[in-house]
Each structure stands twice: as structure tokens, then as C-alpha cells.
Structure 1
Amino acid sequence: MATLFYIMYAVSTLWAIFSIILYGSRPARSIGWLLIVIIFPIIGVVFYVLFGINRKKFKFFTLNFNAKRKLYDLRHKSDNREKFTYKYDVEKFKRIGKLLQKSSGFPSVQGNKLELLKDGKTTFNEIFEAFSKAKKFIHIQYYILEEGELLDKLISLFTEKIKNGIEIRILYDAIGSSGWKNKAVKKLENLGAKTYPILPLKLGSILSTLNYRNHRKIAIIDGVMAFAGGVNVSDKYIKSKSDLGVWDDLHVKIEGPAVDHLHRIFIKDYYFASNEVLLTNQFYLPFQKEKGNSIVQIVAGGPDLKYLSILHQYLTMINSAEDSIYIENPYFIPNKALLEALKMAVLSGIDVKIMVPKNNDSKIAKHSMFANFEDLLQAGVKICVLKDTFSHSKLIIIDEEIASIGSGNFDYRSFEYNYEVNILINDTIIAKNLSNDFKNSLENCEILDYESFKNRPLSTKLLEGCAKIFSPLL
């Protein structure tokens, strides 16, 4: 028995090492996976098969996973509503906008009305009020639909709307919403709601879908109003359910041309989950009207795209900054390019502040985050650690002129594996509003000191180093 185990260990480990060397996309990640495979017999190989294989290199993955989405893009190209496309008059805005249009597919559009939603209660009050006024349809997709007060209210509201002839379509991530009971799903389906899991775990496709999750949070009402950001349907955003307390997060209410682009993201995901091509006519995509003065660019990211759009967004924002860069993120685990960009920015005299929570829902993520801080502090980046609040916000502001709110974290998953969506806002009033909130939050932060931080206990450094090995999984 022991001999069989050693043979299995040797064969599987050698195969994994060969695969990592041959197909690894980046040296740092490859080294991390090599360590995991070697240190953890068999289990390390299993983790690599599930979460580490670069499936884009394999023909079967391209055919089974991406072909349908790419075929959809060819058949249903957006006209991008040229009337509303913003013509840049500032060079740095132009650079960001043109790059992201080619990387992600959507141009910047003007004429949007935005409302910042800065906590869970406000967010869901606005969302439920909008749902109650729907006249044609409600389309939602969330990474997490979790049992509790909010989901009960959502189901009750949808039940009433369905009885009044309103179409309801629901997308949810198969893993993120795994706790959503089948009873609730069946109830809505029996009433007439269209309800589909995204990337369900099926025997024939589990290896090509398990590591790729839909992390988006989008709600569309009648094709003329949208909500997007970082808030999931979970009671943790409205009441304390753990030691982390009530989670803080940001969401945006949108009216205007950008709604069309957000809706097209939903429609594509819905087609991918349901095989139903029903939503590309004017009933679902009405012609938009100008509602306000904000310029918005929707940034979609996902493994089916040719480029790493979320990474491109964050990098080009950092590289375009002239005065300040403010980042707030609960999973700040950037790659080498982002770390160097931040160090270059602060060394050139730009005010760079990064805000992260002291406590986290993932201890591995927390230690992996802190493993990067010593180099950043040495360069002059200010690391601000929220003492009493768990902020789940994914926010970046440059020069108090451009801001991004959405679902994309500063980590490998958001850059390469997850389907994400960010709202890039070119509006000085909103950017300054968010900047003021960021500065006010500094009063609740511990500002790390380089000398003190580098002298933290050896045991802490070891924990951080071990967690950093696992950063490809995060």
C-alpha cells in the first residue's frame, strides 16, 4: 500500500511540475504552485488541478468554456450608442478610456445620473423601492444570494411583481450562492421567474468551471435604471452576524446610457446560463436618454476576454495619476506590476494611500495582504488599517477626479478568474465626495510605521510568508 502511495505521489507530482513549467503564465505564480505541489503531497496536486491549471492553454477549455460567449459577441455586437459616447478633452482621461474600450468593450458615455449608496441599508432601500416601481421586468445577478431577512423580502417582493405580470430573471453564482435553498428557487420558478445558476458544478464540466466564478452584482429595472457595485444579497450588510460587525460597502444607482452597457453584460451572462436568446430587442434594450452630467465607463472583466481588463484598469489609473491615489480594498493582493506601479507613483511625489481592514473574513487573505506592505511602506506608500470596521468596498480614486466602484478586488482572482464589473466614474463632484469619505475614514485607521512594521515578530512574518505562497488561490 505504501509503495502504491509513493508511486502515485511521484507520478502526480512530476506531472504537475511538468505542467507548471510548460504552461505557467508567470514565474511568480509558477514558483508558488511548485511549492504547494512539493510541500503538500497529493493534496497539492489536487489543488493545482482544481485551481491552478492554465486552462486557456487547452483546446477543450477554449471550445467548451469560451466558445459560446465569443459566438454571442459576434452575433450581438453592441452599437455602443454613438450619440452618448464621450469625446475626451483631457489627455489622461482619453488614455484610460481608449485602453478600457479596447480591453473591455465599452466606451465612456456621458449623460448619466449617479447616486452613491454608501451602506447596506441605504443600498437595499433604494433597490427594493426601484423593484416595487418596475413596470416591465427586473433582472438581477449576484455572487451571493444568502438566506436571511433581505432574501425573504426579495422573494416576497418578486412574488407580488410576478402576480402583476412583471418578468423576473435571476442569475446567481453556483458556489457563492450555494446556501440558497432549493425550496426558495422552486417557489420562484413555479411562479414564473426565470432562475439560473452561473457556472454550475456538473460532473462533465467541473474541472473547467470550478475555478471561474461570476462575482458580479447587477440589478436592472425596465432597462432604464441599474444598480451595481460590491454589495451582495446578504444580511451581513445590514446587521452584525460575526465579529466583523456590519459590513461596509459601496454601490451605485445609475440612470442614463451606461445602463444599456450594464444590461448587455447581464444579457450575455443570462444567455450563457440559460441558452435563451430573448433579450436583444427594444423591449429589453430601450433607447436611453440623458439623465445627468456624469461620464461613466463600464469595465467588464472575465476569463473569456482576450485581455485582463480589471488589471488594465487599475494599472492605467495608477500610471495616469498626477497628484493622489486612494485605494480601499479588503483583498489587496496585487501582482508585481501593480506593486511596482504604486512604488513608482509614490517615489515620483504622488500621495498614495491604501486602506484595508484590520480584521478580515479570510485569515489567509489578511496575512497575504500584509506580506506586501513592508516594501510599499519603505517606498513611502501610506498603509491605513481600519481598526473597527470591515470595509468590503472596492474603491480607487485618482487626483480626486476619477473614481472606480465595483466588484473587482486587487487580487489574482479578480484579474484572471472571476467575471467582474466596475463602474469607472469621470465626475469631479462624485470623486471629491468619495475622497472626503476616504479622508474621514482615516480617523478610524492606524497608519502603519515602516520602522515598527519591519520589526514585527518573526512568527508574524512566517505566517505572512506562508499565506503569500497561497496567493494564487485567493
Structure 2
Amino acid sequence: MDLVNGIFSSQLLPYVLLGYAISILVVVILIVLENRSPLKTISWVLVLLLLPGLGFLFYIFFGQNFRKEKIIARKGMRNHHRLNYLAHSQIIQLTDGSLKGNNIASDPTGIVRLLLNNSSSVVTSGNEVTFLNNGKAKFKALLRELENAKRFIHLEYYIFEEDKIGKQVKEILKEKAREGVEVRLIVDDVGSWKLKRSFFDEMRSAGIQAYSFLQVRFPLLTSKVNYRNHRKIVVIDGRVGFIGGYNIADRYKDGNPKNYGIWRDTHIMIRGNAVNSLQSIFLTDWYFVSQTELTDARYFPAAEPVSDKVIQIVASGPDSDWPAIMMGIFQIIVSARDYLYIATPYFMPSESVLFALKTAALSGVDVRIIIPKKSDAFITLLCSKSYIKEMLEAGVQVYFYQKGFLHAKTLVADDKISIVGSANMDFRSFEQNFEATAFIYDKTVAHEMKETFLKDQRESEIVLLPEWIDRPYVEKVKESFARLFSPLL
């Protein structure tokens, strides 16, 4: 019997290898015909060639490009038509000079107009912004506002864990639902994979509408696992909203002393008209997970001006015609004249953003970047390090955050514009994930974010080019190899 099996295997093997080779060739041709960036195309070809079998599965699960197919059909929603109309009206107002506000009256750098055109990101004024730069402040503010809810609570998180802080949030949501408050929750199915079915059953039994975003279940895995909802949005009664880098889990509050120390992140609490923009993003995602379109005016209450901050809330993802957040960041970089300070946990920029950063630094702009020295993702940290040498050679100052894990996704430039949100400085956030970021046009906010950056810088070590070059060769090899897969991470 063993002899027969051996003969059969030896006869069958050439056909199996031929079939596999043909399938790989077909996939390579398909990748080339998609006209992706050469870097991304080469990365996938290398994966297919270097990881036989496994590379093919990686492509099936992670590599297919569904941007053109629009996983979420936003254009058919009345709310999206409303945003398009408002954005078009504001473009006209920019042209005739009737759109007023700090740093945008003339839109000298074109950032406001860009975001109106590429994502219908409506300009809102009369907003108040409160920075929440540590887990204690973020969760204190969130729990307080949840307890004060009277009409509705909308939450959307990439990670929601049923640990100490997760249970605390869950119990408040259940209590508010018993009081008659409408509670809706969206969690990403991959980011929140630890949540059990019993969690959703418990929430629904309490009167809470809870859904997973793009559930990963065979045989639907291939079209969904690569596009994750990375947004962190909360909207309460239409009067207050939250956006930033914090998810719902104990480590965001307490850190991880054994591995990387404290968790350093940035979130903002917003009051004013920008809350309605957050609401629009949430309800678009809600339509997808529930097939229910909520357009009642009570979800978009008119807000009295509470301050003078001007904000554009920008969403991007596979449902977008353009990588809006990446384009906004690119425009800020090329428009910077004095300084540009960036904090990001993962630094794997697209070629256009990388080139813009080097060009800005070579032009005399004070460009500084802080990344964590220790990370929650070993491969991505290696990949981030592979970009440091060329950054330093162009004159960019690079720092390693020492105190813990830096997870903030912020940028501030020229005392004029600040951004904070869920998008990392990497391929996945720019091109594949569903993300949301606040672009804030205000000098006071820019000063505050600048001071926060400088505080983080003081708790970091600067990377010097001679010392960086004079490192063990094996470290450079690992970083260079990791970079080959940067478009896939």
C-alpha cells in the first residue's frame, strides 16, 4: 500500500506543481493589471514567490482590492447626498470669500477645499475642543458623558474588550437603555475578536442594538478580513462627541508595565457642530451593519456656538473615491513653512507622503517625528525603523518615545492646523481601513498640541545619524526585510 501511494504521489506531484504554478501566474497577472503602486505590486509578488502556498492564501485573504466595488455603498444614502450638497455650497463660499473662520477664510494652502472635494468633509464652526492625553482623562470624560445621556448614545470602536473598563462601560450602557435612552454600538469583528456571542446577547437583551462590523466567517472571509473599521467614535445626544486613538480596553487606561510601560495616546472631546459630522460617519456605518437608515432631524440637533474652533471631520476607507486622510496629510506637509510635528505609533508612509516629508525637511521646514521605542507589534516596529536613515539624511528629526508605548496619531503645523484621529501613518490606515480624523483650524489648539508634542519629545531620545548607521548589520537586514512587506502590514 505504501508503494502504491508513493507511485501515485510521484505521478500526481508534477500536475499539482503545474497547477500551483499556473494559479500563481494568474494571480500575479491580476495584481499587475490592477495598476496598484509598483511597491505594493512587488511586495505581493514577493510574498507569492517566497511563501509558497501560504503566500497564495495571504493574497486571497488580505490582498484583494475592493475599493472600486465599494464595500459600503454610501452614495445611495440620503445623508450622504446632504453632505455632498453642503460641501458643494461651501466650495462656492470659499470662492466668493463668504466662508469665514480661523485660518480658512482664504484657504491659502487649499487644504479645506481639498477635503471638501475628496470626501465632502463639511467645515463646521463654533466648536469647543478638549484634549484627553491619557487614559484616565479619556475614560473619566467618557463615563461622565455616558451617564449624562438623555436621548441616544452611539459608539463605534475597533477594539472593545470585556475587561474591567469594558464591563464598566457595558453596565452604564445597559443602565441608560433601561432609562429609555437609545443605545447603538458597532465594534470591528477582527479588532474585537475576544468578545463572545454572549456579550452581544446580553447587550441586546438589555435593549441595546449591537453589531459587529464586517463579520469574518467562512466562506465570506476573503472579501472582508482585509478592510477593518479602525474608527473610534462616540456621539451622545448630538451635543458631545469623541474621536482619537483610544479603544475600550484596560491597557488603554493602565498600559502594560511588563512589555512597554504606560499607554500614551491622544483623544479629543468635541462640543459644537462638528458632532453632527461624527454622527454622519457613525450613521453611515450603522446603515451598513443594520440596513437601517436613520435620518430623523433629532439625531442632528442644531448646536449653539460654544467656542470659535473650526473643524473638518474627515472619513476615508474602501467606501471612498479617494484616500482622503492621506491626501489631507500630504497637503499639510507640502504647505508647511515653519514646522511640522508628527506623532505616530506606526511609521510606514506611502511613497508620496515619504517624498513630501523629505522635501519639506530639505526645504528648511522643522520636521520632527516621534515613534515608540517599544511597540505592541514587533514587525511593524522593524518596518518603521527602516525609514529612519533616509529621514535623518533629509534633515528630519526622529525621536524614540521612552516612557511607554506612544499610540497617538497627531500632527501639528505652523501654529495653524492640527489633526487627531484614528489613522496611523501607514499604508493600511491610508488605503484599506475605515478611518476618521479631525482637521482643526485654530491657533490655540495648535499651540496646545505643539506643547503636548514637545512634552513627549522631552520624554524621548533623539536618533543621531552616525549612531544609527553604526548599528549591528543584522538589525539593518531585519528592518530592510520587514520593509518589503510594509504595504501589507
TM normalised by structure 1 equals 0.94
Alpha-carbon shift at residue 248 of structure 1 (Å): 1.1
Q: 1:86 to 1:138 in 2, by over 3 A?
A: farther
Measure, in 2, the Cα distance between the counterparts of 1:397 and 1:170.
Answer: 31
Paired residues of 1:85 and 1:108 also in contact (CA < 8 A): no
| Residue 267 (structure 2) aligns with | 251
Query: Between Structure 1 and Structure 2, whose CA radius of gyration is higher?
Result: 2
Shift of 1:204: 4.8
Tell me if structure 1 keeps the 8 A contact 2:246–2:266.
yes
Partner of 1:207 in structure 2? 222
Per the alignment, in what secondary structure is the counterpart of residue 458 of structure 2?
helix
Q: CA deviation at 1:203?
A: 3.4
1:327 positional shift: 0.4
> 2:26 matched to which residue of 1?
15
Q: CA deviation at 1:7?
A: 2.6
Query: Letter of the aligned partner of 2:77 in structure 1?
Result: Y
The CA deviation string for residues 324-371 of structure 1, in whole angstroms up to 9 with x for no partner, is 000000011001111111111111111000000001111110011111
> CA shift at 1:289, angstroms?
1.8
For residues 250 and 56 of structure 1, what CA distance do their matches in structure 2 show? Answer: 29
Q: Shift in Å at residue 473 of structure 1?
A: 1.6
Bigger Cα displacement from structure 2, 166-175 vs 448-457: 448-457
Unaligned segments of structure 1, at least 5 residues: none
Name the structure 2 match of 1:129. 144
Q: Paired residue for 2:297?
A: 282
Please identify, of 16-25 and 135-144, the stretch whose mean Cα deviation from structure 2 is larger: 16-25
- Measure, in 1, the Cα distance between the counterparts of 2:382 and 2:475: 8
| 2: CA distance, partners of 1:346 / 1:300 | 28
Cα distance in 2 for residues equivalent to 1:93 and 1:442: 30
Q: Counterpart in 1 of 2:5? A: none
Find the aligned partners of 1:359 and 1:93 in 2 and give their Cα distance. 39
User: How high is the TM-score relative to the length of structure 2?
Assistant: 0.92
Moved more, 218-227 or 14-23: 14-23
2:201 alignment counterpart: 186
Q: Pairwise CA RMSD of aligned residues?
A: 1.9
Matched, 1:43 2:48: no
Letter of the structure 2 residue corresponding to residue 378 of structure 1: E
Identity %, equivalent residues: 34
Once the two structures are TM-superposed, the CA of residue 448 in structure 1 deviates from its matched residue by: 0.9
Which residue number in structure 1 is paired with residue 346 of structure 2?
Answer: 331
The aligned residue for residue 76 of structure 2 is 71
Using the alignment, how far apart are the partners of 2:463 and 2:262 within structure 1?
Answer: 24
Is 1:27–2:38 an aligned residue pair?
A: yes
1:226 Cα deviation from its structure 2 partner: 0.6
Residue 477 of structure 2 is aligned to residue 472 of structure 1:
no
Instruction: Output one character per residue of 1:92-128: Cα deviation in whole Å (capped at 9) or x when no partner.
Output: 5551111011112122221001111111111011011
Range with bigger deviation, 196-205 or 358-367: 196-205
Residue equivalent to 1:361:
376
C-alpha displacement of 1:163? 1.2
Deviates more, 1:19-28 or 1:172-181: 19-28
Distance 2:472 2:409 in 1: 30
Residue 322 of structure 1 and its aligned partner are, at CA, apart by 0.7
Other-structure match for 1:310: 325
Q: Deviations over 1:46-94 (max 9, x none)?
A: 111221222346xxx45xx24x322125775236497996456565555
Question: SS at 1:340's partner residue?
Answer: helix
Q: Name the structure 2 match of 1:232.
A: 247
> Mind listing any 5+ residue stretches in structure 2 that lack a counterpart?
1-8, 91-97
Q: Secondary structure at the match of 1:400?
A: coil
CA shift digits 1:414-446 (9 cap, x unpaired): 111111000111111111111112112222212
Is contact 1:146-1:233 (8 Å) kept? yes
Is 1:262 the equivalent of 2:267?
Answer: no
- Tell me which residue corresponds to 2:364: 349
Q: SS where residue 318 of structure 2 aligns?
A: coil
SS of aligned partner of 2:393: helix
Q: Distance in 2 between matches of 1:44 and 1:229?
A: 34
1:100 counterpart (115, 120, 142): 115
Q: Could you say what secondary structure the match of 1:220 adopts?
A: strand
Find the counterpart in structure 1 of residue 169 from structure 2: 154
Q: Which amino acid aligns with 2:273?
A: P
What is the CA-CA distance between 1:19 and the residue it aligns to?
A: 1.5
Question: Aligned residue for 1:434?
Answer: 449
From 302, 310, 313, the equivalent of 1:298 is 313
The answer to whether the Cα contact below 8 Å between 2:127 and 2:309 also exists between their aligned partners in 1 is yes
What SS does structure 2 have at the residue aligned with 1:146?
A: coil
Closer, same or farther: CA 455–16 of 1 in aligned 2, 3 Å: farther
1:450 maps onto 2:465 in alignment: yes
Task: Give the distance between the partners of 1:48 and 1:238, measured in 2 at CA.
Answer: 36
2:334 counterpart of 1:319: yes
Q: CA deviation at 1:406?
A: 0.3
Q: Is the 8 A contact 1:25 1:54 kept in 2?
A: no
Deviation at 1:165, TM superposition (A): 0.7
The alignment partner of 2:399 has SS state of strand
- 1:371 aligns with 386
Structure 2: distance between partners of 1:442 and 1:140 = 32
- State the secondary structure of the residue aligned to 2:149: coil
Whole-angstrom distance in 1 between the partners of 2:99 and 2:236: 22
Q: Using a 3 Å threshold, how does the CA distance of structure 1 residues 276 and 148 change in structure 2: closer, same or farther?
A: same
Give 1:229 shift.
0.7
Indicate if the aligned counterparts of 1:12 and 1:42 stay in contact, CA closer than 8 A.
Answer: no
Question: What is the SS of the residue equivalent to 1:369?
Answer: helix
Q: Is the 8 A contact 2:346 2:384 kept in 1?
A: yes
Letter in 2 for 1:16: V
